[in-house]
Amino acid sequence: MKFPDLKSKTHPNFKGVPGWVWAGRYGIERQLYILQRMTGLGVLLYLLMHLIVTGQKLDQSSWEFVMGQVNQGLLPIGEFLVFAGAVFHALNGIRLALVHFGFLMRQPGRPIYPFTVAALGQRWAVYSVFIATAAIVGYGGYEFFIVAGH
């Protein structure tokens, strides 16, 4: 059997990193995809450093030395940003998993005027992620900056 030549007539997808960083004027969910990746990579980088730092917990003088080092300058602010990023990533991750398995998807309507946008049916989940993130990060900030005085 002879197959027809199915060569693509469009340009190859060579946009690379700029392609996923800026896809065009899409909705907020598309922008959150970038934020999910950036927070994921940030938390991964932190995790690897965190493992090396907390590995010093076996000896009191090493622990106190390393805790002194990570409490200098802007590092506590950076640590708090990682906390905020991780909270957002986890909560947005719950939303994404629900979307992946179809739980938040709405039935698309027929394209009859006035048009409806099925994606807007799950927008409440985006707002819930923002509100829950603000609440947890807000409380964490109170403990971090006010109670512990960083």
Partner 1 sequence: MRESTLWLMHLGAGAVMLVVLGIHFGVMHTGGLIGIDRTEVLTFASVEARSGQLFYVVVYLTLLVVALYHGLYGLRSILFELSAIGSTLRRTINLLLVLAGWGFFFYGAWAILAGYLG
- Rule CB under 6 A: which residues touch ligand HEM? 36-37, 40-41, 43-44, 47, 86, 89-90, 93-94, 96-97
The site string for partner 1 over 21-40 (x = CB under 8 A, - otherwise) reads ----------------x--x
Q: Which is nearer to ligand HEM, 52 or 58 (CB)?
A: 52
DSSP state letters, 37-71: HHHHHHHHHHHHHHHHHHGGGGSHHHHHHHHHHHT
87 binds partner 1 (CB under 8 A): yes
Instruction: Tokens for 142, please give them.
Output: 């109170």
43 binds partner 1 (CB under 8 A): yes
Cα 120 to Cα 45, 54, 92, 110, 141, distances in angstroms: 34, 44, 16, 15, 32
Cα 51 to Cα 47, 55, 56, 107, 110, distances in angstroms: 6, 6, 9, 45, 53
What is the total residue count of the chain?
A: 150
Q: Which is nearer to ligand HEM, 62 or 128 (CB)?
A: 128
- Residues near 43 by beta carbon (within 8 Å), at least 6 away in sequence: 82, 85, 86, 89
What does 129 bind: ligand HEM, partner 1, none (CB cut-off 5 to 8 Å by kind)? Answer: none
Cα separation, 116 vs 67, whole angstroms: 55
For the bound state, the minimum distance from the C-beta of residue 77 to ligand HEM, rounded and expressed in Å, comes to 20
For the bound state, the minimum distance from the C-beta of residue 39 to partner 1, rounded and expressed in Å, comes to 10
Interface with partner 1 (CB under 8 A): 12-17, 20, 37, 40-41, 43-44, 47-48, 51-52, 54-55, 57-58, 60, 63-64, 67, 83, 86-87, 90, 93-94, 97, 100, 136, 139-140, 143-144, 147-149
